[in-house]
Structure 1
Amino acid sequence: MTVTTPSAVNSVLRVAPAAPAEAAAYFRASLVFHTDVSDVASALAAGGDPGFVVLDSRSTDSWDQGHVPGAIHLPTALIPEQAEKLLDKSVPVVTYCWSPACNGATRAALALAELGFQVKEMLGGFEYWAREGLAYETWEGGAKGAADPLTTPVGAENCGC
Structure 2
Amino acid sequence: MTTEPRALTFPALDSATAAAHLRAELALEVDPDDLVRDLTSGAQQGYVVVETRAPEAFASARIPGAINLPYRDMTAESVSGLDRELVYICYCESIHCNAATKGALKLAELGFKVKRLSGGITAWQAAGYPVERDALPSAYTPAPAPRCAC
Please report the TM-score for the alignment, with normalisation by the length of structure 1.
0.79
Corresponding residue to 1:84 among 80, 83, 105:
80
1:44-123 → structure 2 map (5 Å cutoff): 44-80=39-75, 81-85=77-81, 87-123=82-118
Higher RCO (CA 8 Å, separation ≥ 6 residues): 2
Q: Which residue of structure 2 aligns with residue 34 of structure 1?
A: 29
2:43 and 2:117 map into 1 onto residues whose CA distance is: 20
2:88 and 2:94 map into 1 onto residues whose CA distance is: 18
1:62 and 1:126 map into 2 onto residues whose CA distance is: 10
2:8 and 2:72 map into 1 onto residues whose CA distance is: 42
Runs (4 or more) in structure 1 with deviation over 4 Å come to none
Deviation of 1:48 (Å): 4.9
8 Å CA contact 2:30, 2:116 repeated in 1: yes
The CA deviation string for residues 51-94 of structure 1, in whole angstroms up to 9 with x for no partner, is 21000001111111100010011100121131122x21111110
8 Å CA contact 2:46, 2:85 repeated in 1: no
2:96 and 2:89 map into 1 onto residues whose CA distance is: 18
Gaps of 5+ in 2: 137-150
Please report the TM-score for the alignment, with normalisation by the length of structure 2.
0.84
RMSD: 1.6
8 Å CA contact 1:34, 1:121 repeated in 2: yes
